[in-house]
Amino acid sequence: MNINDELTVTIEKLSNLGTGIARVDGFVIFVENACPQDELKIKITKLNKNYANAKIVEILKPSPHRVEPFCALQKVCGACQLQFIDYDYQLELKRQIVEDAMRSIGGINLEIPEPVASPEIKAYRHKVQYPVAQTKVSKRILAGYYKNNSHEIVNIKHCPIQPEICDKIVEFIRVKCFDFGISGYNEKKHAGDLRHIVLRVSAATGKVLVTLVVNSKKVFPCLKDFCNEIFAEFKEVSGVCVNFNTKNTNVILGEVTECVCGKDFIKEKLLDKTFHIGANTFFQVNPKSAENIFSYVKTYIKDNFENPTILDAYAGIATFGISISDVAGKVVSVEENSEAIEKAREVLDLSDIKNVELHCADTAKFCKKIMRKFDAIILDPPRKGCTKESLDEILRLSKSTIIYVSCNPATLARDLKYLCEKGCSVKSIQPFDMFCHTYHIENVAIIQV
């Protein structure tokens, strides 16, 4: 087998990164934009010792689950890897991805149920993070998602997985940058003004928080005028913020954000609780699917505990802690992002919730100082999962139950394996489809200590 060889293959399954897997004489080939049961003519584009990458030359016989993508840019934009597969089958493939991760990484032979479907599969994504660049000749501003496996921006005018207002705001920013002398960012030269456009849209109110990420340490005069122009143009915009990021890094947001006009948050409502979401605070991109997760966790706690004491770790804006506060005796929420803690405190005060205790600290360091045990512990770490140090402390503080919420099956499986080696048992894993048309899948694992 050589690069540029053309082969005829049948796709067996999907990888955990959403690419099709075929085998030729036992040798694994990963094929982009391929669906299980596709019969394809492919061309080898990359060859390694243990596997090859390939692209489709011709679809000889399409899978019965292959459909026409509803977005014209699906093949070039890297955001929706699975949009050419019918939604019900997407759920089954994601179930298989979770099951495979649990067995191959975690050594856990547990039957995984079908994911809970997203209530919406279009316009579901309520957080938008577009990188910004500028063309060399025409100086046109580009904003959109990256092409697959590249930093080349697909200039997106319409994205059907986001609320329509996002398209209008981004287009306004693209066009009006010229009037205010604001340039797009050049990643290679680390030059230019506007690096990213970040939008947060409330599913409850329709309001939008706009954050412009700039290659600057302060708000310069024309940038301030531009923010005011955006705020005046759209009644849906609750506020315009500027985030400062002068580092030569792929990290989107810098540490400091300034609200230039309006409010520095939007309100979101889940399970009859109102939350404040700021520019730098974590909140799920799909609020309606998130509500299914919070309801699932709240119901489990209500059905299995009476007046429990709960530790809410990696708490963000204490979404879990606040959501379950009326079925808990006390909730201790710990989060290292100070802005998130501030937004959570605003909600507690406005809602007159007295039984949620907030701590701004690293989870592992905070847990080391605690001597009391908790009836249940909720873990909702970032994609990289938990450190062994954090898991050891969580085990020490847990009376009986850990509820682990994860957006990454691989790191969840790794952490569950570690917990099982320490004597725990995994009672159940329920997937939730938070990120429709992508290979990503959220899971809630119930662990008995």
CB 310 within 8 A of CB 375: yes
94-117+286-448 is classed CATH 3.40.50.150: yes
Delimiting residues of CATH 3.40.50.150 domain(s) in the chain: 94-117+286-448
Active-site pick, 407, 420, 424, 436: 407
Q: 148 pLDDT exceeds 90?
A: no
| pLDDT for 151 | 87
In this prediction, residue 147 has a pLDDT band, given cuts at 50, 70 and 90, of: confident
Q: 185 pLDDT exceeds 90?
A: yes
Q: 138 pLDDT exceeds 90?
A: no
| Closest residue by Cα to residue 437 from 45, 32, 85 | 85
Delimiting residues of CATH 2.40.50.1070 domain(s) in the chain: 127-270
Interior/surface letters 340-374, b for 16+ CB within 10 angstroms, e for the rest: bbbbbbbbbeeeebebbebbbeebbebbeeeeeeb
Q: 362 pLDDT exceeds 90?
A: yes
Question: What confidence tens digit (pLDDT) does each residue in 54-69 have?
Answer: 999 999 999 999 999 9
| pLDDT for 59 | 98
Q: 403 pLDDT exceeds 90?
A: yes
Residues with Cβ within 8 Å of residue 440, at least 6 apart in sequence: 407, 434
For range 153-169, the mean pLDDT: 96
Q: 149 pLDDT exceeds 90?
A: no
Q: 150 pLDDT exceeds 90?
A: no
For range 312-336, the mean pLDDT: 97
For range 276-302, the mean pLDDT: 96
For range 297-313, the mean pLDDT: 98
Instruction: Give the percent of the chain with pLDDT over 90.
Output: 96
For range 369-385, the mean pLDDT: 96
For range 359-369, the mean pLDDT: 94
| Closest residue by Cα to residue 83 from 143, 145, 140 | 145
| pLDDT for 314 | 96
For range 357-369, the mean pLDDT: 95
Q: What architecture (CATH level 2) is domain 1-65?
A: Beta Barrel (2.40)
| pLDDT for 75 | 87
Residues with Cβ within 8 Å of residue 327, at least 6 apart in sequence: 298, 301, 302, 305
Question: What confidence tens digit (pLDDT) does each residue in 248-273 have?
Answer: 999 999 999 999 999 999 999 999 99
407 is a catalytic site residue: yes
Which CATH code for domain 127-270?
A: 2.40.50.1070
For the whole model, what pTM was predicted? 0.94
Delimiting residues of CATH 2.40.50.140 domain(s) in the chain: 1-65
For range 204-214, the mean pLDDT: 98
Angle at 91 between CA 430 and CA 87, to 5 degrees: 145
